[in-house]
Amino acid sequence: MDKSRRDFIKKAAVTGAAIIAAPAMAGSQIRDGKKITPEQITPFKLKYAPGLGMFREHAGSDPVDNIRFCYENGFRAMFDNDLMKKPAGDQEKIANEINRLGMELGPFVVYADFGAVSFVLNKPEVREMLIGKMKEAVECFKRTGVKWALVVPGKYDEKLHWDFQTANVIDNLRYCCDIVEAAGLTLVMEPLNTLRDHPGLFLSGIPQAFSICRAVNRSSCKIVMDIYHQQITEGNLIPNIDAAWSEIAAFHCGDNPGRNEPTTGEINYKNVFRHIYSRNYDGIICMEHGLSRRTREGEERVIQAYRECDNFDV
């Protein structure tokens, strides 16, 4: 994972809700001066997934405490990009608590080297490296049950024709699918913006990712659409969601500019979430963003922002 993404997840010490005023471990919270129990908090309509550590001002650093805090505030999913890097025991502890609460874990990163020319090359050493990564991802899947592993195809090659690079990405994804598909794991490709955060990357747009998915033609190869990145790259969010719907397996979100919580930028997340919900989406929307105020109150504002955007009629 690149430094900018890791910084976003670290600064996502984001949480609380308009309904929060006490640590989740207290077993009850305060709303309008009255104690309320987690059972009285309505779950969100969609499975917004905070990152582990997003709410550390309220829940501390322990991942289990963070999961419980999120559950008690209406979230029914979590995500951890670095899940595969954690010790096996920590992976199992996280997955066990998620399962106990009936929550879900969103995609973890299996390969995202932002400085390497890799997927675009037809080289045995690249293929061997990718197959090794896929085998590691399968082991993580077996321990945790997480259904999706995220890949970023890396940088493009300035000396190789774009069409050859595209063909190589398709072939390399097929080799990866050969490993993960038999285990029941799905790869999700993430297009990232090259205008602000990740210049030089091969995969940047939803139409591009869609055409590659269709060419790979495997049920284990899909797209994660990061709404923040695609607002920068191409906009036209709802029409592109519809056009690529059959290949989208998960979403990331964050507002633009700033890559903070919804309501802080130009994206009308209430309308975007309403549209996704209207399509009977039952997957995960990873909250891969920072917070506009890096305080306990800022965490509470993040939850309130999601309450506001989730308060839609279909």
CATH number of 114's domain: 3.20.20.150
- Measured CA distances, 260 to 111, 136, 266, 301 (Å): 24, 32, 11, 11
Residue 249 CB partners (closer than 8 Å, separation 6+)? 148, 186, 188, 222, 223, 224, 283
Q: Are residues 75 and 116 in the same domain?
A: no
Q: Are residues 50 and 106 in the same domain?
A: no
Q: What is residue 13's predicted lDDT score, i.e. its pLDDT? A: 36
Q: What is residue 34's predicted lDDT score, i.e. its pLDDT? A: 56
Report yes or no on 249 lying in a domain: no
> For the whole model, what pTM was predicted?
0.89
Report yes or no on 293 lying in a domain: yes
Question: Where does a domain end: 196, 221, 246?
Answer: 221
Q: Are residues 69 and 15 in the same domain?
A: yes
Report yes or no on 46 lying in a domain: yes
pLDDT tens per residue across span 116-127: 999 999 999 999
Proportion of the chain above pLDDT 90, given as a percent:
87
Q: Are residues 64 and 165 in the same domain?
A: no
Q: Are residues 131 and 173 in the same domain?
A: yes
- Across all residues in the chain, what is the average pLDDT? 91
pLDDT tens per residue across span 174-192: 999 999 999 999 999 999 9
Report yes or no on 237 lying in a domain: no
- Measured CA distances, 21 to 29, 306, 311 (Å): 6, 17, 21
When divided into structural domains, the chain yields a total of 2
Show the DSSP H helices in the chain as ranges.
Answer: 3-11, 56-59, 63-72, 88-100, 124-144, 162-180, 206-216, 227-233, 237-243, 269-278, 296-310
Which residue range is the domain that position 258 belongs to? Answer: 1-79+254-314
Report yes or no on 312 lying in a domain: yes
Q: Are residues 103 and 53 in the same domain?
A: no
Proportion of the chain above pLDDT 70, given as a percent:
88
First to last CA, the chain: 36
Report yes or no on 68 lying in a domain: yes
**Residue 313's pLDDT band (boundaries 50, 70, 90)?**
confident
Q: Are residues 177 and 268 in the same domain?
A: no
pLDDT tens per residue across span 206-243: 999 999 999 999 999 999 999 999 999 999 999 999 99
